[in-house]
Chains A and B, each alone.
Chain A
Amino acid sequence: EAQVTQNPRYLITVTGKKLTVTCSQNMNHEYMSWYRQDPGLGLRQIYYSMNVEVTDKGDVPEGYKVSRKEKRNFPLILESPSPNQTSLYFCASSLSLGQSYEQYFGPGTRLTVT
């Protein structure tokens, strides 16, 4: 089944404790992206990657890191999480960055930072 998977689905952590949220897709998509969803703000892009070893900042990259060493994986790293990073995070992928391609989303990771 074609899908985007994220782990963990739920995570409660404390301020400053480094964490990684994994994202993997099995559709051979070139383009992958991370979003955070906050009430009333819709989805805001954190980082995106157009292909292996090619990443770029989105609208809200501060406090996050990403890497794209393999085409299928795009982990999101929070080196020193803070309470304002409490949010619902989504990974997404699409065939390419072309305008007409829709994105496929993972199930989401609900992160709470205390």
Chain B
Amino acid sequence: AQSVAQPEDQVNVAEGNPLTVKCTYSVSGNPYLFWYVQYPNRGLQFLLKYITGDNLVKGSYGFEAEFNKSQTSFHLKKPSALVSDSALYFCAVRDAAAGNKLTFGGGTRVLVKP
């Protein structure tokens, strides 16, 4: 069965500092990986995805993520965090071998302090 782990419930970072949100996954086939962000009282918004190709994926709002097959990780990064990046972030994986089901991690709350 596929699974996603986000080991940190919350990440605190000062504005202007680098931001990293961790995600590891487990699938039986090739993974298709996604990051979504949820702002307060809003639905989830798509940030970026890895399907194939370059391991470094660039997405919306200056975010990027690095796919690491050997470590089964897909960490989300931003070089310089903004207060407006404070939100709940979800990693998700889709496994074609599991009928294309999308499985979400538990979410990581990011708090960027001015």
Report B-chain residues with C-beta under 8 Å of the C-beta of A43.
44, 90, 92, 104
Report A8 CB to chain B, min CB distance, Å.
14
List the A residue with the shortest CB-CB distance to B105. Answer: A42
* A103–B90 alpha-carbon span in the complex (Å): 13
B43, A4: Cβ atoms under 8 Å? yes
- The reply on A102 being an interface residue by CB < 8 A is yes
- The reply on B100 being an interface residue by CB < 8 A is yes
Within 8 A of A (CB), among B69-114: 90, 92, 94, 96, 100-102, 104-107
A105, B44: Cβ atoms under 8 Å? yes
Report A7 CB to chain B, min CB distance, Å.
13
For the complex, count residues of A whose C-beta is within 8 A of B.
23
Report B23 CB to chain A, min CB distance, Å.
11
Report A-chain residues with C-beta under 8 Å of the C-beta of B106.
40-42
* A43–B43 alpha-carbon span in the complex (Å): 11
- The reply on A81 being an interface residue by CB < 8 A is no
Given contacts A100-B49, A104-B46, A107-B42, contact A42 B90 (CB under 8 A): yes
- Residue among A43, A92, A107 with the highest chain B CB neighbour number at 10 A: A43
- The reply on B34 being an interface residue by CB < 8 A is yes
Q: Which 4 A-B pairs have the closest CB atoms?
A: A105-B43, A42-B104, A102-B46, A105-B44
18 pairs, A vs B, C-beta closer than 8 Å = A35-B104, A40-B106, A40-B107, A42-B90, A42-B106, A44-B104, A45-B101, A45-B102, A90-B44, A97-B100, A98-B100, A99-B51, A100-B32, A105-B36, A105-B44, A107-B43, A108-B41, A108-B43
Interface of B with A (CB < 8 Å)? Answer: 4, 6, 9, 32, 34, 36, 41-46, 49, 51, 90, 92, 94, 96, 100-102, 104-107
Interface of A with B (CB < 8 Å)? Answer: 4, 33, 35, 40-45, 58, 90, 92, 97-100, 102-108
